[in-house]
Structure 1
Amino acid sequence: MFKISRLAQLITYLAPFAREEGNSGKQGLQRLLLLRSFITVISIAVWLVFQSSLGLEFSLILSAALLFFMALSVTIGYWRTKTSDLISNIELFCHLLFDVAVLIIVLLNSGGVSNPLISYLLVLLAVTATLLPRNFVIVFASMGILIYTSFLFIDLQSGHNMNGGPEEQELVFQLHLVGMWVIFLVSSILISVFVTHMANAIKDRELNLAKSRESEIRNEQLVALGTLAAGTAHALGTPLSTMAVLLTDLDKLDIEQFKNSNIKADISVLRQQVTRCKHSLTQLTRYYNKDNSEKEENSLISEFTGDIQDYIFNIHPNASIKFEIACEGDPEVIASLSVKHAVINIIENSIKAAEKHVEVSFKIIESSPPLFQISINDDGPGIPAKILEKMGEPFISTQKEKMGLGIFLANATIEKLGGTIEMFNLKTGGALTLIKLPLPKYLQG
């Protein structure tokens, strides 16, 4: 006798929670065919083991015919799952009716209502409740109750002679059969109402979760793009300000001063700043139009470091800065444009704060799990304690007329990937920034 708790466990396997209705029907048919194959094998094994002891008389011709049609139905069913992307509710229901027809034939030739296999109707009803809409469930439940009632009526009419036993024993057995029928009736109603409702609720929940995941992915992409856009706008601020100052100075010169001024040097600076702006905008365009994010987001540590060095040396040719890769081999690290932008932002802040020079080191920390660490050390005055406490907020900065947006955006980018940014003042002077990121192979999802 199946209980509702057992049926609830069965639902978690039989109910295909797919995003598309066609795919759901396909998965449902696959699991129904698997269940049919399993029951067929178990039935054959039981019949072979117990036929002599139980005195079962089952026609070999009928057995062979049933096995043939069962094998044929499984073959056709699997062929349908391979050749069709859409399995309709009607087709699923027809497969369930085929199982019922086979069960009726078996029951008619092996004890009828007294055969425990009649409870398999409940299993098929549970499958119907998890795979098909309520109308199909009601029809199947009504049909199952009618079949069980018919077998019970036939058994009671035949008197079910207990091999010459007392009438009381016959009455007790008939009451037992009626009790089984009542339990079947109640179980059918419970499955039709509660299990169907539960299966629909679980399907709705899975669909809502799928939609939420898709929405979350879209939101993350928008946030990443917005963060990079804001970072690009922040990066454009310095070169545009430099160009504005140069153009203002040039505008104040008269013709004689213009001839005598070092105009070529100013033009070189302007060209350098224009290149910097173009590079920042190119990064943003590449990020927005990228076709294969997986290939672009990870690279070897040597390539990642090379990109950072090229940018810094190009934009800050006069800066005294040392780069070092302090790790064995050439492991793969997270190297998305937003991460590069964050690292460059921190390095540029150190260049501005440094008195003489900056040291940047890249290495792998042997922790659990291993981490990619970037340390940035400058010999500047350090970070004031009040500012250090609020570092990472968007409008905190040690520089006048700055908003601290760069550090805020860098912190947001690194935290989004499961990393951290830590800033310290060194006892010997200057500041140390540690950026720690998980390695790509240890990232979840």
Structure 2
Amino acid sequence: MDLPSSIRIVRLRWAILSLCLLAGGALYLGAVELPWPALALVACSLASANLVWSLAGPARWAALDIQLGVDFLCLTALLYLTGGPANPLVSMYLLLIALAAQAMPATRTWLLAAASMLAYALLFRWHQPIMVAGEHSDMLISLHLAGMWLTFCVCGIVLAGPLARLSRTVRERELELGRIRETQLRDEKLVALGMIAAGAAHELGTPLNTLTLLADDLAERYAGDPELDDDVRLMRNQLGACRRALGRLKQQGGELASPAEPVSQQLGHLVANWRNLRPQIELDYQPALATAPTRWFDPSFGPALLNLLNNAADASPDGRITVQADWQAPILVIRIRHAGSLPPQLELTHPAMPVASSKQHGMGLGMFLAHATLDKLGGTLRMDSDADGVCTTLTLPLPTSHVVSPP
């Protein structure tokens, strides 16, 4: 049983009983002849049932269909004793059906609706008419109109709340479905890129081995040539970086996390590896991680950071970038700064698809993967442009439950 709906119905029942008591007092003072003992019995029966449900607590309440069934019987008895279809309270049948439609299965709702329509029809044939003393006969129309207004007010107040909640629930569900579709689209794209990366790693293995052998042969052949020695050393370093990257890709394919190391040490390794890949870029690394803990980094974080560094290096007009790493417990904040301006076509608000690249032959996959990775890890990615250049800020929460304190 829907607990919030049951609480509202019990409270609504008390409110309607109170209004009926006030209306009954007004009718009694107005010299309206009604079967007062029978009406009192109906009211006391409904009040007793509601009192039992209230005192028993929500866990022991009767099923909602039983409660609405009792309401239906009491309302039908009340209408039979007070004029039948001429009683403005006959509209309360609609209120019962609306409450049932909100909280009960469709079959039981239709059953209650059919019973209400049948009872309404039978009241035309069987009911006790309202009798008013002769000197007060002109009050009957006024009482009927007042009852219609009161019934309308009760139904309007009761229905406005559920309908507003239903509308809000539908809107929230549509937004949630939109987020789910966006996440599913992003995940499908990531899976496709992962398959492409796995195939590329397999295909690159043989060419890298061949180039490594050629580089070793050149190093031996021109060992005494100072002009070629630096170039051969750089070539071997680049090939070594490529082989290590492929090795990490194969190794992390079946791992859940990288080994636990201090955050400062892991970031230092990532920056050093990137320097080997882009030695022509002047990188100013400014870590402020003295209080950062030891913990496990998700394997996907490293490639995401390298993609951001590559984007900054490609966009920097002077070939210089600055990386600032700060520990703001429990969040790691990394800022990547470079000269230039932020391309107007670059959007980071919708990471479900690759963003537009500002490079001539770029596909925007690097920024897409970085944004998707940080979003998956609970982090954020933001790019800002000012007079000093472009600043890419990424945040990565490191929950204390996953932190391993350094020795």
Task: Specify the TM-score bucket, using the shorter chain as the normaliser.
Answer: 0.5 to 0.7
Matched, 1:70 2:50: yes
1:317 to partner: Cα distance:
6.2
> Which residue of structure 2 lines up, in the alignment, with residue 436 of structure 1?
393
Matched, 1:128 2:100: yes
- 1:33-59 deviations in whole A, cap 9, x for unaligned? 224312332144335656655438457
1:336 to partner: Cα distance:
6.3
Name the CA shift for 1:330/1:151 in 2 (closer, same or farther; >3 Å): farther
The 8 Å contact of residues 338 and 413 in structure 1, kept in 2 or not, is answered as no
Query: What's the RMSD between the two structures over aligned residues?
Result: 6.2
> Which residue of structure 2 lines up, in the alignment, with residue 146 of structure 1?
118
> Which residue of structure 2 lines up, in the alignment, with residue 18 of structure 1?
none
Q: What runs of 5+ residues in structure 2 fail to find an aligned partner? A: 30-35, 160-164, 347-354, 399-407
TM-score by length of 1: 0.53
Counterparts of 1:316 and 1:438, CA distance in 2: 22
1:217 to partner: Cα distance:
2.9
> Which residue of structure 2 lines up, in the alignment, with residue 347 of structure 1?
309
- 1:233-284 deviations in whole A, cap 9, x for unaligned? 889999986543222345789xx9699999xx99998766543322234445
Counterparts of 2:115 and 2:276, CA distance in 1: 85
The 8 Å contact of residues 42 and 78 in structure 2, kept in 1 or not, is answered as no
Q: Describe the SS at the equivalent of 2:134.
A: coil
Query: For residues 11-410 of structure 1, what are the structure 2 equivalents within 5 Å?
Result: 26-27=1-2, 30-46=3-19, 52-55=25-28, 57=36, 63-72=43-52, 78-79=58-59, 93-107=65-79, 116-131=88-103, 136-155=108-127, 158=129, 160-165=130-135, 169=138, 173=141, 213-226=179-192, 243-250=209-216, 273-283=242-252, 285-286=254-255, 303=263, 306-314=265-273, 316=275, 321-325=283-287, 338=300, 340-347=302-309, 359-362=322-325, 374-377=335-338, 396=359, 404=362, 408-410=364-366
Counterparts of 1:40 and 1:349, CA distance in 2: 65
The 8 Å contact of residues 419 and 436 in structure 1, kept in 2 or not, is answered as yes
Counterparts of 1:125 and 1:136, CA distance in 2: 10
Counterparts of 2:306 and 2:300, CA distance in 1: 10
Counterparts of 1:423 and 1:243, CA distance in 2: 42
The 8 Å contact of residues 343 and 410 in structure 1, kept in 2 or not, is answered as no
Name the CA shift for 1:240/1:67 in 2 (closer, same or farther; >3 Å): farther
1:100 to partner: Cα distance:
0.4
Q: Describe the SS at the equivalent of 2:212.
A: helix
The 8 Å contact of residues 17 and 47 in structure 2, kept in 1 or not, is answered as no
The 8 Å contact of residues 381 and 395 in structure 2, kept in 1 or not, is answered as yes
Q: Which amino acid aligns with 2:13?
A: T
The 8 Å contact of residues 342 and 409 in structure 1, kept in 2 or not, is answered as no
Q: Which amino acid aligns with 1:374?
A: R
Counterparts of 2:212 and 2:266, CA distance in 1: 29
Counterparts of 2:302 and 2:385, CA distance in 1: 18
TM-score by length of 2: 0.56
Q: Describe the SS at the equivalent of 1:55.
A: helix
Counterparts of 2:274 and 2:395, CA distance in 1: 28
The 8 Å contact of residues 53 and 61 in structure 2, kept in 1 or not, is answered as no
1:148 to partner: Cα distance:
3.0
Counterparts of 1:424 and 1:165, CA distance in 2: 87
Counterparts of 1:212 and 1:98, CA distance in 2: 42
Q: Describe the SS at the equivalent of 2:131.
A: coil
Counterparts of 2:100 and 2:206, CA distance in 1: 68
Counterparts of 2:249 and 2:390, CA distance in 1: 23
1:115 to partner: Cα distance:
5.3
Q: How many residue pairs were aligned?
A: 348
Counterparts of 2:317 and 2:207, CA distance in 1: 21
Counterparts of 2:387 and 2:73, CA distance in 1: 81
- 1:338-397 deviations in whole A, cap 9, x for unaligned? 5542332343577799999753224699xxxxx9562245xxxx99x9xx8999766946
Higher helix share: 1
Name the CA shift for 1:351/1:50 in 2 (closer, same or farther; >3 Å): closer
Name the CA shift for 1:119/1:69 in 2 (closer, same or farther; >3 Å): same
> Which residue of structure 2 lines up, in the alignment, with residue 412 of structure 1?
368
Q: Which amino acid aligns with 2:48?
A: F
The 8 Å contact of residues 373 and 434 in structure 1, kept in 2 or not, is answered as no
The 8 Å contact of residues 324 and 360 in structure 1, kept in 2 or not, is answered as yes
The 8 Å contact of residues 385 and 391 in structure 2, kept in 1 or not, is answered as yes
1:69 to partner: Cα distance:
2.5
Q: Give percent identity, aligned residues only.
A: 17
Counterparts of 1:99 and 1:165, CA distance in 2: 35
Name the CA shift for 1:35/1:312 in 2 (closer, same or farther; >3 Å): closer
- 1:10-46 deviations in whole A, cap 9, x for unaligned? xxxxxxxxxxxxxxxx43xx35522431233214433
- 1:77-105 deviations in whole A, cap 9, x for unaligned? 943789xxxxxxxx654443222013234
The 8 Å contact of residues 85 and 120 in structure 2, kept in 1 or not, is answered as yes
1:324 to partner: Cα distance:
1.3
